[in-house]
Amino acid sequence: MGVSEQRANTKSGFLTKKTNIYGLIVITAILGVVLFLGSGFVLAYLAEDAANTAVDEVKELLPNLETQEEIDVAREAWDNAAELVEDLKEGTVRDGLLERLAGIQQVIDETQEALDIAMAKLAAEEAATEAVGAVQGKLETIESQEQIDAAREAYEAARLLVEDLHDGDIRAALLEQIAAIDTLLETVQEQFDAEVAATEAVEEVEALLSDLSSQSRVNAAQSAYDAAYQLVEELPEGDVQEQLHEQLEEILEEIDEAQEELHRKAEEAATEAVERAESRISNLSNQGAINSANSAYSPANNLVRNLHDGSVKDSLSSRINAVKSAIDQAQQQLNAKWAEVRLNFNRQRYTYSNLTNDLQKLAGHYPDLASTAVVGQSVEGRNIWSITVGKGSRDVLVLGSLHASEWMTTPVVMRTVETLLWEYDQNITVSGESVKDILDKYSITFIPMVNPDGVTLVQQGVSAFPDRAEELLALNGNWGEDFSRWKANIRGVDINRNFDVRWSTQPGQSENPDPYYAWHPGPSAESEPETRAVANWVRSNNPELLLDYHSFGEILFWWYLQSGSQLNRDRAIVTAMRNYSGFRMEGINHNADPSSTSTYWGSRVIGIPSITVELGNRYPRLLGMGDLNSMFGKVRYLPLIGIMNLPSY
């Protein structure tokens, strides 16, 4: 090979070698660029792959999220994955992973919420279960109301916890327990209340044992014992019931002992009472003795009747029945005797004729105690009768029927007369004083019908006075032939305006100057024979007390301007009469300008206690014999009450 060729070859080879070197450099440079650029892609790829793997790993944890620990692990893995994803370059890969992470986070959050709810539910169930258990524990040691109240309070708190639970088996089971506890609490409360009531009942009986001195107290203790025993019997068996039974046994022993002692004392008292009653039937000759025997019989009979059954009661019952038979027999005999002497008031009217006959009957039956007299005669010549009862040297006067329309005062007076005459020998007492003793000191003169003509006119009308018919009809005002309101005597003079005391200046003097059926005072003081009959008797006998019976109103008129000692004397007498009769007592100054009445005259002129007694509670014309018992019953012993309060008694 030539040099040139060699040179050419050498040059060509050099050029080729140079070219190769340049190519290598280029390739190397290209490889460097490629390597540089490829490493970035690789790293990005690797980062995306790591982030994707991390997200996948978090997602794989989601199906097993059942505990807080697993949720915490998942949340930590999520945080790590989120950090890797956040570091990725923006792009679709990163956006996709962020979207996946958001979904994963929602699952984790929902799982956490569900777990929180489950845990809260579990905690509530545990709290409720614990509360129920606490109540059950309290029920095991209850001994007082405070503990019951505490258990009830705990029960209410537990009940609220249970009711707030979610529906489920646990709630249902706890509700059953709560219901059972409520029932048990009620049972415990009832039992405790029963024990308290029984204990208090026993204590009440024990308190009654301090005084068993009477049958009523023993009965009260026995009744309380019976009630307490019933309460104790109803308690459930146990220490409390046993203890209370022991107390009741001791209590019953004391009650029985006290009862036996009372029985013994009752038998003694009944025996003494029967003996006392037997001692009073030896002489049952009068009403007082019979009353005395009855007063002994009644309590004795009650004592015997109240004895406990037995031989003592049987024996005493036989004896007290014998006493009763003796009393009844004596009363029957006395009633038969009384029937012979008593007056007959069972009639439509009590007339002048009835009065005349009855006075003679009484004087005949009681010749040593009663005497009749004629103290004057009426305008028409009818006798103005008096009857004096008693043996005393001091006199009292009682008037009736001064006003004709008030004729019912006459039978009241006559009932008083027959009562005093009968009871004089009957050993009867009034306010602790014997009727006999009073009538041995004082004689009471009764003028039962001061105005016999007027009474006859009221009862029979003008037919009883044919010669005066025209005159009487004229005097009767507008009442025609109805004389039920006639108060005056047959001449039209009001006797109780005709007494000689301020006669000319009395009220009504100028208003009734002419005879009239009422209120006319007459032509002069004591112009009427009826007035003079009363006045003359008073002047002749100097009575120490004057009672004038009128009707109506149940009032005692007594003040006629008295003062000083006379006022005090009269007020004391009338006060006693008011207390006895129940009548109203007119006060002083009530009648500052009285008419010329019998009692005004007796008080101011004679100077003796003088009382107008208004009987009955209806107008006189409406009163009749059917009112006699009630009228008489209120003033039966009124004259004696007045006597017993006289300064001289």
pLDDT at 516 over 50: yes
- The per-residue pLDDT for range 428-455, each reduced to its tens digit, is 999 999 999 999 999 999 999 999 999 9
pLDDT at 49 over 80: yes
The pLDDT-based confidence of 593 (bands split at 50, 70, 90) is: low
> Coil, strand, or helix at residue 614?
strand
Give the span between the Cα atoms of 406 and 513, in whole angstroms.
23
Output the pTM of the full model: 0.62
- Backbone phi, psi, residue 557, to 5°: -95, 130
* Terminal Cα distance for the chain, rounded: 209
Mean pLDDT of 189-208: 91
The reported pLDDT for the residue numbered 143 is 79
The reported pLDDT for the residue numbered 355 is 98
Give the span between the Cα atoms of 612 and 409, in whole angstroms.
12
The reported pLDDT for the residue numbered 461 is 96
The reported pLDDT for the residue numbered 6 is 46
- The per-residue pLDDT for range 460-470, each reduced to its tens digit, is 999 999 999 99
Which residue in the block uniquely carries the two structure tokens 């039937």?
281
522 CB-contact burial (10 Å; exposed 0-12 / middle 13-18 / buried 19+):
buried
Average pLDDT, the chain: 91
Polymer length of the chain:
649
Mean pLDDT of 221-235: 94
- The per-residue pLDDT for range 284-301, each reduced to its tens digit, is 999 999 999 999 999 999
- Is residue 535 within a helix (H) or strand (E), and if so which, with residue range? helix 529-541
Identify the weakest region by mean pLDDT among 7-16, 197-206, 365-374: 7-16
Who has greater pLDDT, 504 or 583?
A: 583
Who has greater pLDDT, 520 or 21?
A: 520
pLDDT at 508 over 90: no
The reported pLDDT for the residue numbered 7 is 46
Q: Are 486 and 458 in contact (CB under 8 A)?
A: yes
Which of 615, 612, 639, 633 shows the shortest CA–CA distance to 556? 612
pLDDT at 603 over 90: yes
The reported pLDDT for the residue numbered 201 is 94
- The per-residue pLDDT for range 80-125, each reduced to its tens digit, is 999 899 989 999 989 899 989 999 999 999 899 888 888 888 888 8
Q: Which two tokens stand for residue 74?
A: 């998942």
Identify the weakest region by mean pLDDT among 11-20, 237-246, 402-411: 11-20
The pLDDT-based confidence of 3 (bands split at 50, 70, 90) is: very low
Cβ atoms within 10 Å of 259's Cβ, excluding its own: 17
Identify the weakest region by mean pLDDT among 13-17, 144-148, 416-420: 13-17
The reported pLDDT for the residue numbered 23 is 60
- The per-residue pLDDT for range 51-62, each reduced to its tens digit, is 899 999 898 898
Q: Are 542 and 397 in contact (CB under 8 A)?
A: no
pLDDT at 10 over 50: no
Give the span between the Cα atoms of 371 and 449, in whole angstroms.
16
pLDDT at 587 over 70: yes
The reported pLDDT for the residue numbered 141 is 80
pLDDT at 195 over 90: no
Name all contacts of 135-138 with Cβ < 8 Å and 24+ positions apart. 135/181, 136/177, 136/181
The pLDDT-based confidence of 192 (bands split at 50, 70, 90) is: confident
Give the span between the Cα atoms of 372 and 361, in whole angstroms.
10
The reported pLDDT for the residue numbered 64 is 86
Q: Are 583 and 554 in contact (CB under 8 A)?
A: yes
The reported pLDDT for the residue numbered 14 is 45
Q: Which CATH class is domain 352-644?
A: alpha beta
The pLDDT-based confidence of 20 (bands split at 50, 70, 90) is: low
Identify the weakest region by mean pLDDT among 90-104, 367-381, 448-462, 606-620: 90-104
Who has greater pLDDT, 419 or 46?
A: 419
